[in-house]
Amino acid sequence: MVELAKSQLPEGTLFEVISETPKCLPDAAHILTMCSRGNGRLHIVNLGRYAVTLFDKHSGEGVRVWVDAKKLNDWPEIKSWMLKTKPKREQNSDALLDELCRAKEAVLSCSPVTVDMRRVRVKNMGAIALCPICQEPYPAQDGGVCRGCAGEAPYLGETVSDASPALSAVPVEEAVGKAALHDMTEISKDAKGPAVSAGEVIEQNSVERLRDMGKRHIYLAAGSDPGPDWAHENEAAVAMAKAMAGEGVRFSEPPREGKITFIAERNGLLVVDQDRLRAFNLAPDVMVATRQSYVMVDKDRPFAGCRPIPLYIRRERLAGALATLAGEPLFRVLELKPLKTSILVTGQEVYEGRVQDRFIPIISAKLEQLGAPVLSTEIAPDNRQAIVAAVQRMREAGAELIVTTAGLSVDPDDVTRFGLLDAGLSDVVYGAPILPGSMLLLGRIEHTRVIGVPACGLHHKTTGFDLVLPRVLAGAPIGRRDLARMAEGGFCLQCKACTYPKCPFGK
Ligand code: ZN
C-alpha cells in the first residue's frame, strides 16, 4: 500500500502519512517511510478503514490507497482474512501469505486526495511547567498539575489513598484508660461534634456508646507513632488552612474531625483563585470546597472548608498539594470601599425633559446598598463635548467612580462611548458575556473607575451591573479574562420575583 502511494507522488515530494486505522498499518508506514507519531509526520485518523494516504506536507496534495473489496474475489484467503468470515483457527496462514505475496497491488485501489491541513496540523506544546506534585516537566496548558498527577496515570496505587502507616488498633474494651488517636463522630440527627475527641482518654462508660456507633476496634494515640514520613490529619489540615487563608479570612482551630472551616473576618467580596483551587483539588489525598468566587460574604460566617482525606497523609503528598498553592493564599475577603460616585445620564430625550429619568434612582439605590455615596448626578445631551464637560466636572468634584447610563447601544445617536473616550477613557472593556447586560462598558479615566450600564438596567431588576459593581468597589481587577469567566452562570432566568443574590445568576 505504501509503495503504491509513493509511486504516485512526484519524485522528491516531502510527504506525511495518514493511516485511517490504528491497527498494523501505522507500523508498516513508519518502517517504510520514516514518518512516525513521534516526529509528527504520521497521523492516525481512526476512520476504521484499512487505508493509507501519503500527501505533500506543504500543499496537502496526495494519494489515498485502500484495500478494494471488489478486487478480493480472486483471492479467497485474503478475502476471508480481511472480512473475518473464517474463524482464526480455520485460516491457512501459508496460503494467506502466498496469496498476499502474489496479489501485491492487485487488491488495492488508489485515488488522488487533498488533505485539509487544519485537520492534521500538530499542535504546539506551548510553555513547559514543573508539576508541583511529581516535580516532572509537563505542558503548562494541561493545567495546574500534570495529567499523571491529575489522575490519568495508568499505574495502580499511584493516586488512590491506599497507603497508610501501621497503626495500633485494640478492641474497644481494652481501650479504656487510653487516649484516642482521632475524633470519633456519632452519626445521629442530634449529635453535635465528636463523641470522643483526638487525645481524649476513653472512659469505661464510653465503651457501650462506641459499640453503639459500630466500633469494635479503636486506634490509640500511644504506640501509633507512624514515623516522620506521615502527617496526622489535624496537623495537615492546619498546614493547609494557613497556606490558604488570605486577607479578611480566619479559620477555626483546632480542626474538627480533621476538617478546618474558613470564616469571613468582615463583610465583603470573596475572591477565590480558581486556577489554584482546581490545581489543589487535583492533588491526591486532600480537598478544599468553597462558596463561589465573587459572592458577597457576611462577617463571621463560614464560606469554605478543607481537610486531608486519610487519617495520616504522606508528608511528600501534603508538600506536593501545598506546592500547588504557589505560596499565595487561596481565599481573600475584600472590603468594599465607599467610592464617591457620580451618575451621568446621557440621552437627548431625557435632557430635553421629554422623558422622565429613571436611571438615577435605580443606580443610586444599588450604590447605597453597597455603601457607596452618590456625589453628584448630571443629565447630558447626546453630544460628545457635553459629555466630556460633565465628566470633567465630576472628576473635579472628586468622583472616584462614574456610572454612566444609557447610550451604549449601536444606535448612531449614541455618542456616550465616544464622549467617554474623548474624556480620556482607557483600559476599556466593552461587551460582556452576561444576559441581560451584554453592552456593559468598563474602564477608567486616570484613577476614576467608569462603568457604563446598558439600557437593560432600566427594565431588569438585576443585570451585569450588579455582578461587576461589587468587584469594582472592592478594587478587584476585571479584564477580558475575568469577564469571559462570567459567561457560565451569566444567563439570568428573569424570575417573576427576583431573589438575586440567592439565585444562580453570576455563579
Ligand atoms: Zn505530576
Please give the distance, rounded to the nearest whole angstrom, from the Cα atom of residue 148 to the centre of ligand 1.
5
Q: Which residues pair with 43 in a beta bridge?
A: 18
282 alpha carbon – ligand 1 mean position (Å): 10
Task: Give residue 157's pLDDT.
Answer: 59
Q: Are strands 374-380 and 341-346 parallel, antiparallel or unpaired?
A: parallel
Integer Cα distance of 146 and 138 in angstroms: 6
Please tell me the distance between residue 281's alpha carbon and the centre of ligand 1 in angstroms. 13
| Cα–Cα dist 51/339, whole Å | 68
Interval between CA 303 and ligand 1 midpoint (Å): 29
**Among 214, 448, 228, 493, residue whose Cα is nearest residue 342:** 448
- The closest of 45, 68, 73, 53 to 5, measured between CA atoms, is 53
Ligand 1 centroid–CA 135 distance in Å is 6
Rounded distance, CA 476 to CA 468, Å? 10
Spacing, Cα 321 to ligand 1 middle (Å): 11
- What is residue 409's predicted lDDT score, i.e. its pLDDT? 62
Separation of CA 333 from chain center: 21
Q: 480 alpha carbon to ligand 1 midpoint, in Å?
A: 30
What angle is formed at CA 266 by the lines to CA 477 and CA 478, rounded to 5 degrees? 10
Question: What contacts 429, CB < 8 A, 6 or more positions away?
Answer: 441, 442, 443, 478, 479, 480, 483
For residue 146, the model assigns a pLDDT of 87
pLDDT at 183: 82
Measured distance CA(51)–CA(312) in Å, rounded:
55
C-alpha cell recorded at residue 338: 465607599
CA pair distance 17, 9, nearest whole angstrom: 12
Distance CA 503, CA 507 (A): 8
CA of 343 to the centre of ligand 1 (A): 51
Q: Which helix (H) or strand (E) holds 242?
A: helix 233-244
153 Cα–ligand 1 center, Å: 9
Dist. CA 133 → ligand 1 center (Å): 5
Dist. CA 136 → ligand 1 center (Å): 6
pLDDT at res. 400? 97
Q: How far is the CA of 155 from the centre of ligand 1 (A)?
A: 13
CA of 274 to the centre of ligand 1 (A): 19
Query: Could you tell me the distance, in angstroms and rounded to a whole number, from the CA of residue 137 to the centre of ligand 1?
Result: 8
pTM for the full predicted model? 0.71
Kindly give the pairing relationship between strand 137-139 and strand 128-130.
antiparallel
How many helices (H) does the chain have, and how many strands (E)? 16, 24
- Ligand 1 center from residue 131 Cα (angstroms): 5
* Dihedrals phi, psi of 66, to nearest 5 degrees: -140, 160
Distance 320 CA to ligand 1 centre (A): 9
Grid cell for residue 479: 479584564
134 Cα: distance to centroid of ligand 1 (angstroms): 4
Residue 495's φ and ψ, nearest 5 degrees, are -60, 150
Give the Å distance between the CA of 142 and the centre of ligand 1: 11
Question: Are residues 266 and 333 in contact, defined by beta-carbon separation less than 8 angstroms?
Answer: yes
- Going from the Cα of 314 to the center of ligand 1, the distance in angstroms, rounded, reads 16
Q: Determine the Cα angle at 256 with ends 254 and 260, to 5°.
A: 75
Query: What is residue 196's predicted lDDT score, i.e. its pLDDT?
Result: 82
Dist. CA 144 → ligand 1 center (Å): 9
CA 452 / ligand 1 centre spacing (Å): 44
Q: 478 CA distance to ligand 1 centroid (A)?
A: 31
Determine the residue type at 398. Answer: G
Report whether 30 contacts 36 (CB < 8 A): yes
Between the CA of 138 and the centroid of ligand 1 the distance, in Å, is 8
Closest CA to 451 of 425, 412, 423: 425
Ligand 1 center to 262 CA (angstroms): 28
Instruction: Output the CA 149–ligand 1 centroid distance in Å.
Output: 4
pLDDT tens digits, one per residue of 85-135: 988 888 889 999 999 999 999 999 999 999 998 888 877 778 998 888 788
C-alpha–C-alpha distance, residues 55 and 6, integer Å: 9
The answer to whether the bond into 226 is cis (omega within 30° of 0) is no
Three cell numbers at 238? 492546619
CA of 88 to the centre of ligand 1 (A): 43
Q: How many CB atoms lie within 10 A of CB 324?
A: 24
Distance between CA atoms of 184 and 213, rounded to whole angstroms?
9
Tell me the chain's radius of gyration from C-alpha atoms: 34
Find the 154 Cα to ligand 1 centroid distance in Å.
13
Which whole-number Å values give the CA distances from 459 to 196, 358, 362, 436, in the listed order? 57, 10, 10, 10
According to DSSP, the residues that pair with 216 across neighbouring strands are none
From the CA of 259, how far away is ligand 1's center (Å)? 26
- CB-neighbour burial class of residue 387 (10 A; exposed 0-12, middle 13-18, buried 19+): buried
Q: In which residue ranges of the chain is pLDDT below 50?
A: 158-160
Residue 152: DSSP 8-state: I
